[in-house]
Amino acid sequence: MSAPPGGDLPKAEIHLHLEGSIDLDTLLELRARHGDDAGPEARRRLGALYRHRDFPDFLAHFRDLCGELRAPEDFALATTRLAARLVRDNVRHAEVMCSVGIFARRGLPPREILDAIGAAAAAAEAGGGPRLRFLLDGVRQWGPGAFEELVEIAAASAHGGRVIGVGIGGDESAWRAAEFAAAYREARRLGLRTTAHAGEFQGPRSVWEAIEVLEVERIGHGVRALEDAVLVRTLARHRLPLECCPTSNIATRVVASWESHPIAALHRGGALVTVNSDDPALFGTSLGGEWRALGERLGLSRDEVLAIGRNTIAATFLDEGGRAALLGDYDEAVTRAEGSA
């Protein structure tokens, strides 16, 4: 393979926020639909949401962007546009987080939001787009009560097959992990898959708590695990996936520079590293861009990049048959690409 890996290879993505996939043009289109200013002044003001000084600044921008979503149809459009974005990178399967709790507090019924994104996802898939599945993402700083409600919403919505699990994001320093343990146990009892943002803004202790207290199946980000050698060995031994998002970490100043990014060291230390775009529009990236960054900016070899792409498929919440089929397609595409080099 002489070209950078990625290209037309079939891919999966497992750490992706629906709201953070909404680009400025789509945001302005939504405003116009609601009869609000969508002209140059609105473009200038809302354009600032796509530039971040640090992690708290990003959280504020994410909140403000969510404030522009006001009807179920807005989420349907966002889902349709996201599916089109994923097609360009040949993403066959994506597990997308949706922060329905934010909108429930603003009077939008979660059921209507989920019906809208489900219908849009089904239409995109029927038209040859990716298979989209959804995890409901809680806001950690709102506390365990709000997360318990989110688990109930997810369980009630899971029967259609598109809502598959729950996670929690936001400020890792807000509320101890132990306060959410009961809700995570209930989620597992109800058959929901689980993940949690940890080891992003906070250090290795946050990852330990996600593993030992919340007992999650995957770690959102987890890059600061590198600061604890015992933790890296534990992650490697248990093959607990890290949902890594390199451009996101640089944009939010979680990592100071590309040269100091931990992904290569984590991968070489045996951790099951995956690659994802997180909030692609807010960070000006795509999954294809993240693949390129692995080799061009993070110094991973072609074989290492291909292994991380395979890890990402292996870490999906697909059933065994679906995962095996996608892995088979991936391995065949890699073999063809290498044969034609």
- The DSSP call for residue 173 is T
Distance, CA of 68 to CA of 27 (rounded, Å): 7
Contact 6, 309 (CB under 8 A): yes
Q: CA of 83: how far to CAs of 64, 123, 189, 257, in Å?
A: 23, 10, 31, 30
CA atoms within 13 A on the CB side of 39: 3
**Closest by CA position to 13, among listed 96, 121, 82, 80:** 96
Is 200 designated active site? yes
User: Terminus-to-terminus CA distance in the chain, angstroms?
Assistant: 5
Which two tokens mark 76? 């349907």
Q: What are the φ/ψ torsions at residue 180 (nearest 5 degrees)?
A: -105, 0
Q: What are the φ/ψ torsions at residue 136 (nearest 5 degrees)?
A: -85, 130
Helix or strand holding residue 41 (H, E): helix 40-47
Helix or strand holding residue 94 (H, E): strand 91-98
**Closest by CA position to 207, among listed 228, 180, 193:** 228
By three-state DSSP, how is residue 165 classified?
strand
Helix or strand holding residue 13 (H, E): strand 11-17
- The DSSP call for residue 4 is P
The letter for the amino acid at 252 is: T
Catalytic-labelled residue, pool 19, 68, 95, 200: 200
Active-site annotation, residues: 200
